[in-house]
Structure 1
Amino acid sequence: MSVANIPHDPARGLRITQAHSRFPADLVNVFVQGMFQTDSLVDAVAAELAGSEGAGWQAVNDALTHARPTVDNAPPSLEALLTPVMSTPPWFDAEQVRWGAALWWRFWISNQIGLAGSLRTGYRFGDLNKPQAMNGRSAVMAAKRYEETARWVLDATEPGGLVPGRAGFSSTIKIRLVHAMVRRRLRRDPRWNTAAWGEPIHTSGMALTGIAFLILPLAAAEMVGIEYTDDEKEAIRALWHWVCYLMGVAEPLLPHTIDHARSIADIATAVFAPPDEDTRMLDNAVMHNGIRAERALPSFLRPALAPVLRPVISYGIWGVSNAIVAQLEEHPDNPQRVNHPVVRALRPLVARREKSRRKGELGSDFEIAERQRKGVTTALGLIDAAPHALHPREAMAATR
């Protein structure tokens, strides 16, 4: 579909015209076209699985566990989905991606700030947020959705976990299936407005979401004083390039370079619709219900303290993170200008830690990552968080 043939929306048309005046026309056009394109390979699998019994889902699990695109009882479309990712393209460097995952975990607090911004990317725009708003899980079950996303991030960024047969690879393909299941349901929803919003969970939205996990944590790291060499940044980019590829992002919208990734993010900000009432609703959900902090307490105390503790802790974490991300967005070319009190407090601590790291006192990149990941896993365990990322079968049912 060419830009000339996309459904007309006057407000979006004006935004596209303005984007053409600021960014390369070919990339703007690819991005706009992507709003009306989806991942046809996984959509075909979702269509077959929706009508199958448990054997179809078991076949998916078997294929991912054994790293074989063809297994007994698998829907015919599964092989077409898995063959390209299991054979791995020639540009894929498993060791570079493994190193990039370790580097991404250099300092978990900057990752948390970046994660908050990455999750908010999905609902800050008044058209991109519609799958979440209409799905209902993000509003009704904001905390569980955060926990499930955190579990997927832990899987996807485990060093060595993104090769076929490993947990990160399997979890990422399953999230791709989650998107297809939600998309399949939304396409049958009479409320869905393709002309205004594009296709449900479209290619451009998927690209932006994946890219956010690359550029926002990097910006947050620079903001607090974490230093990466060019080779280290390239390894982190390779990690998220591979994740985006596994998620089904179209080739022109993959983060081929960090500058290319930033250009896509800038175009998204120009083309997508501004925040709306659904943005405020979803923001409010995570601010008041985003962390199930009461689950760290004995069970008999939870009912009484949850109404107080959950909004206080949720606002403390998400409110601070969102405020910092907002300042980062104000200073995209110089994160050091961010002046939030939490950031000011972190900078001297990070400076001392970075000095120790450069001396080798913190161990290797992989040892640092293991400790950082353990801290996050422990925190999730304290609140009895969701044990794994959302399974595609769970995504088949709407919550409202």
Structure 2
Amino acid sequence: MGIYNKKQFLVSIKSKLILMMIGVAVIPLVFLVLINIRTLKTEVQKSIHKEHELTASKISQTVVEMVKTTQESLETIAITNPELFDWSNKFNREDIIYRMLKKYHHLEEISMISPNGMELVKISKRYAISPKELENISTDEKFKTLKCGELYIGKPEIDLDNQIVFELGIPVGGDKEYLTGAIIAKISLRQVMKKINATKTKEGSYIILIDDIGYLIGHSDYSQVTRRQDVTKSKGVTSLLKIKAEEKNVLKYEKFETMIYESYLGEDVLGVYGLIPIVDWGVVVEQPLDNAYATIRLMITRIIITFLLTILIIGVVGSFLIYLFMKPMNELANGVNSVKSGNFDYKIPKQNNDEIGMVIEAFNSMTEEIKKGERMKV
């Protein structure tokens, strides 16, 4: 009996009206929401990419400005002190280095090199260096680069204090036989790390700084640097190395690329990457998609709840309205059954003057005529 009633309800006008009301109210809303979600997803990606590009650009500018400032300062010292590399000018050299180390917080160590590659003086902020520890670097790659009159930028490495440092060297007086000396400064990336840590990023985002071969030299979580985390599995890093390997990559230096890819942690991320001028390093900003789309997921959850509430309200209100609509129809059905059983005195109360009211009026007139006909037979 219950199954029969359920089937009867499913094929009834009442169920069809309820489904029609829900469909008319919900289907257009579903299409509208789907379109808006797609648009919102695109806008969220654009917003995140734009913010990441700005962050990457700031980090890049910080590194470039630090290198340029150091280079210009060292060149100024060399120009304003022409006798700097004379063997008898030891105290002047030391005084200049001490002043430089005091003035620039990112400088850790400065050494001055003679034309034949011998260190004339080397002073560090953290360690005492005796004259006996001065070395001849004439066979080192860095001195060969300086002797050719070119700027030398060394490979970043972790020092004894677990900070990333690299060497910057400038030639003085020209190249080859005209070289009068060189100045080499050891620079700490501590200031860059402070910039990375101070940079506000979206939840879950992190900044990666890599050297010219893809080694990690900076990260929002610095412990990953100290434990030598391998980030070369990140597609952003591999894309950077690919760009660097291409010819004429100078044209791509200030251009930051954006894409969705798999990070070195194996999760899908929204990433921005680009090369840093002068040093040939790279900066990558990544954010897991789970964090990036958190706002969209929250919105979808709210929409689903709204849908369910809408369907519930439509069902309740629709059922009440359909009850009012179906009441005269049910009374009409009862009247038909009464007439079939021989009760010609049954009258259906007329409540409205609409189409159903006209049908009820016609039915009552019909039963009255039948009643009269039955009396005449008698």
Is the structural similarity TM-score above 0.5?
no
**Which bin holds the TM-score, normalised by the shorter protein?**
under 0.3
What TM-score comes out, normalization by structure 2 length?
A: 0.22
What TM-score comes out, normalization by structure 1 length?
A: 0.22
Higher helix share: 1
Q: Larger radius of gyration, structure 1 or 2?
A: 2
Higher strand share: 2
